[in-house]
Amino acid sequence: MFAAASGGIPLDKYHTFGLAVRTQALILPAREDEVPEAAQKAAYILGEGSNILPLGDLPPVLSTRYLRGYAVLEATSDLVRVEVAAGENWDGWVRFCITQGWYGLENLAAIPGSVGAAVVQNIGAYGVEVAPWVESIYGWNKRLQAWQRLPAEACSLGYRSSVFQMPAWQDQFVITRVVLRLKRRYEPVLTYPDVVRRKHPRLLYDPLYLYETIRAIRAEKLPAEGSAGSFFKNPILKEPELADLQKKAPDIPFHPLPDGRYKVPAAWLIDKAGLKGYRLGGAQVHPRQPLVLVNLGNATPQDLWALAQHVQKTVAERWGIHLEPEVRVLAPVPTLEP
């Protein structure tokens, strides 16, 4: 469960940017009862590392990726309540649910990362978020030194956000299981422009076909490796802020939210600021989806960080909009001894 070596353990395979950074110790509990002791030793808690940018070598890291398994708690003709371990791979889980006839998660196909991480950042894609499917979250609270079950309503699940990102909880609560409430009836969400464009009658009755369609849409736009998905969140603006932006950018697409605010695509702001494909050292603004920053193979953490700051600065100067990172940036320890 615990690996440490002088000079550190390579972390390139434990995060999706694939950077040549190390950690002082890599802690990989394979059973839930190992978590309390493991958590004590860890500075950072990760799943598959698909939403982090380590800025250098890291202090001890715990990954929950080997906590596996699931249990059906209740099954009726309408719904299934199923508890799934945090370390299950998200995409594998989505596909498994479909094969079992448990529906709701289809549009979240092919999102990198683990089940635990899915709730930490309330993943969303193609008109669906994970939040409405979550009933409760179970895990080890380091501060209280106790296991806790939190109802979803207590977890402040919002747009790419949750209580688990707040200082009192971040790296203090190790999610080990999630209870999901899924439907037995397939009711596809086919509203997102990319999906609408692929209108095919089979989407209406074949959930696995929808799953494969979403995979194909993602594969067209998103790089297979060397990124952490969207690097920034889509900005959410109040009406006067949108009106201001429209003066500079009359064509900006916008999406009204139920609370009266508007979501605008960061990809558009970056694209129209001329940054698509922009390179800095070994890092690049992805040419097909400019919200994604990529490690071209030999990027340093500093290349990626400098690129992120360049994008933020350029967008702020051009449009007066601050882009907030969606990726979690991890502070390093001072250089490890070789």
Give whichever of 135 and 194 is closer to ligand EPU, judged by the CB atom: 194
Instruction: Give whole-number Cα distances, 334 to 1, 6, 52, 138, 307, in Å.
Output: 25, 14, 19, 34, 22
Instruction: Using the structure block, give the residue that is written with the tokens 């409430």.
Output: 181
Asked whether the beta carbons of 57 and 23 are under 8 A apart, the reply is yes
Q: Which amino acid belongs to residue 157?
A: L
In the bound complex, what is the minimum distance in angstroms from residue 292's beta carbon to ligand EPU? 7
Give whichever of 29 and 104 is closer to ligand EPU, judged by the CB atom: 104
Interaction between residue 188 and ligand EPU (CB under 6 A): no
Give whichever of 132 and 253 is closer to ligand EPU, judged by the CB atom: 253
Residue closest to ligand EPU when measured from CB atoms: 229
Count the Cβ atoms, other than its own, within 10 Å of residue 91: 19
Q: How far is 32 from 105, CA to CA, in rounded Å? A: 25
Largest separation between any pair of C-alpha atoms in the chain: 60
Interaction between residue 262 and ligand EPU (CB under 6 A): no
Catalytic residue among 50, 162, 227, 230: 230
In the bound complex, what is the minimum distance in angstroms from residue 275's beta carbon to ligand EPU? 10
Among the listed residues 88, 93, 94, the one whose alpha carbon sits nearest the alpha carbon of residue 210: 94
Which 128-147 residues touch ligand EPU, going by CB under 6 A?
A: none
Strands 61-63 and 44-46 come out as parallel
Interaction between residue 211 and ligand EPU (CB under 6 A): no
- Specify whether 160 is catalytic: yes
Point out which span in 70-78, 229-237, 296-304, 328-336 binds ligand EPU (CB under 6 A). Answer: 229-237
Which 108-127 residues touch ligand EPU, going by CB under 6 A?
A: 125-126
Count the Cβ atoms, other than its own, within 10 Å of residue 147: 14
- Specify whether 149 is catalytic: no
Interaction between residue 246 and ligand EPU (CB under 6 A): no
In the bound complex, what is the minimum distance in angstroms from residue 40's beta carbon to ligand EPU? 31
Interaction between residue 233 and ligand EPU (CB under 6 A): yes
Asked whether the beta carbons of 286 and 294 are under 8 A apart, the reply is yes
Catalytic residue among 160, 177, 181, 218: 160
Instruction: Using the structure block, give the residue that is written with the tokens 């800025």.
Output: 55
Interaction between residue 326 and ligand EPU (CB under 6 A): yes
- Specify whether 230 is catalytic: yes
Instruction: Using the structure block, give the residue that is written with the tokens 């940054």.
Output: 275
Binds ligand EPU by CB under 6 A, chosen from 82, 290, 304, 312: 290
Q: Bridge-partner residues for 70, per DSSP?
A: 84
Count the Cβ atoms, other than its own, within 10 Å of residue 190: 16
Binds ligand EPU by CB under 6 A, chosen from 253, 256, 274, 277: 253
Among the listed residues 110, 123, 117, 154, the one whose alpha carbon sits nearest the alpha carbon of residue 15: 117
Q: Which residues in this chain contact ligand EPU in the complex, by CB under 6 A?
A: 125-126, 192, 194, 221, 229-230, 233-234, 253, 265, 267-268, 271, 289-291, 326
Active site residues: 160, 230, 326
